[in-house]
Chains A and B, each alone.
Chain A
Amino acid sequence: MMESAGSQGMRLGMRVMIEQGDEGNRSERREEMAVQQRLEVEAKAYQSLQQEHAKMGQTYSKLLAQQNENNMVLDELKLIDGGAVYKLVGPVLLSQDPEEAKSNVEKRLQYIGDEMKRTQNHVIDLEKKMEEKRNKLQQLQAQLKQGQSK
């Protein structure tokens, strides 16, 4: 949706340029060009923010899946009584103390939880930045439209 805001702005800018060329008002045209250029820069910045936002979303869902899996493993480890626990290290199974395995999984869950919080904060941060950029884009578009109607 918002991607179209940028390209819309560019399309708008192009139309402005053509119309201005007929009129031949140089200073006004230069101003339009400057606004259009800024619009392009902002649109690009917005797009890169969007990409990062999508990437963070992926990271987050990956972490969520890991958290789920580790939680299931922890539940299973809590359920065993007496059975031996092995950890797959490369191609071999190493015997491991159940308590140690449990604390390892808990540690990993802790780490994953921290990582998720960090990612979420980053996402919130990105969303704020995107909102700002969106406002700026709209502002620039309005500016272009104004120049066009003059």
Chain B
Amino acid sequence: MSTGSQVNVASLPIDQLQALREQLQEEDRFLTNSYSQLKIAQNKFVDSREALKVITPENIDKDILVPMTSSLYVKGSLAKTDTVLVDIGTGYYVEKTPEEADDYLKRKISYLGDNCEKLESNISEKRKNIEAVTMVLQARIRAMNEQAQPGAKSS
């Protein structure tokens, strides 16, 4: 796509160039937004892995504070460490051992990491395109201004 647009960019009229640049910028915004959302999702899985580390047989029956909301905690004790419930999406939960759950989280983290990388290269590609279009646009406007000045004198 990049080479294709590169070829015809020079032949586009100014208003279309502007529209193209706006479209590219819009796409860039969208991708950047997706990227930060992916990062947030990935961090959630990283946090879950961290939390999973304390679900060990050594910690059984130990006192814990269970968060009811972000600011309200209730006293409890760790009753069971051999399985955890994992939310796998669309309302399904699966009972897994902590090891399996860790595998699941690792898988998710690397999956999101791969996607982040792909998005990153997409974003830098988009930015390059925007830069190219901007340069052509500026050159075009400059040329138009130079053309318009002698034209105004003659008429």
Chain B residues, CB < 8 A from A73: 88-90, 92
B95 pairs with A88, CB closer than 8 A: no
Question: Residues of A within 8 Å of B, CB-based: how many?
Answer: 21
CB contacts between A and B, total, < 8 Å:
55
Residues of chain A from 41 to 59 with CB closer than 8 A to chain B in the complex: none
A24 contacts the other chain (Cβ, under 8 Å)? no
Question: Residues of B within 8 Å of A, CB-based: how many?
Answer: 16
Interface centre among B85, B88, B91, B96 (most CB of A within 10 A): B88
Residues of chain A from 29 to 79 with CB closer than 8 A to chain B in the complex: 69-70, 72-73, 76-77
In the assembled complex, the Cα of A11 lies from the Cα of B104 at a distance in Å of 60
Residues of chain B from 71 to 101 with CB closer than 8 A to chain A in the complex: 83, 85, 88-96, 100
A72 pairs with B94, CB closer than 8 A: no
In the assembled complex, the Cα of A96 lies from the Cα of B95 at a distance in Å of 11
B15 pairs with A77, CB closer than 8 A: no
B110 contacts the other chain (Cβ, under 8 Å)? no
A85 pairs with B92, CB closer than 8 A: yes
Picked from B89, B91, B100, the residue with its CB within 8 Å of the CB of A83 is: B100
B94 pairs with A88, CB closer than 8 A: no
In the assembled complex, the Cα of A69 lies from the Cα of B83 at a distance in Å of 24
B148 contacts the other chain (Cβ, under 8 Å)? no
B95 pairs with A83, CB closer than 8 A: yes
User: In the complex, what residue of chain A is closest to B103 when comparing beta carbons?
Assistant: A79
With contacts A1-B19, A76-B104 taken as known, whether A69 is within 8 angstroms of B93 at the C-beta atoms is no
Q: List 7 A-B contacts (CB under 8 A).
A: A1-B19, A4-B15, A76-B94, A86-B95, A87-B93, A93-B93, A105-B92
Chain B residues proximal to chain A, CB less than 8 Å: 15-16, 19, 83, 85, 88-96, 100, 104
Chain A residues proximal to chain B, CB less than 8 Å: 1, 4, 69-70, 72-73, 76-77, 80, 83-89, 93, 96, 101, 105, 108
> Besides A84-B95, A85-B94, 6 other CB < 8 A contacts?
A1-B16, A69-B90, A77-B92, A80-B94, A87-B91, A108-B90
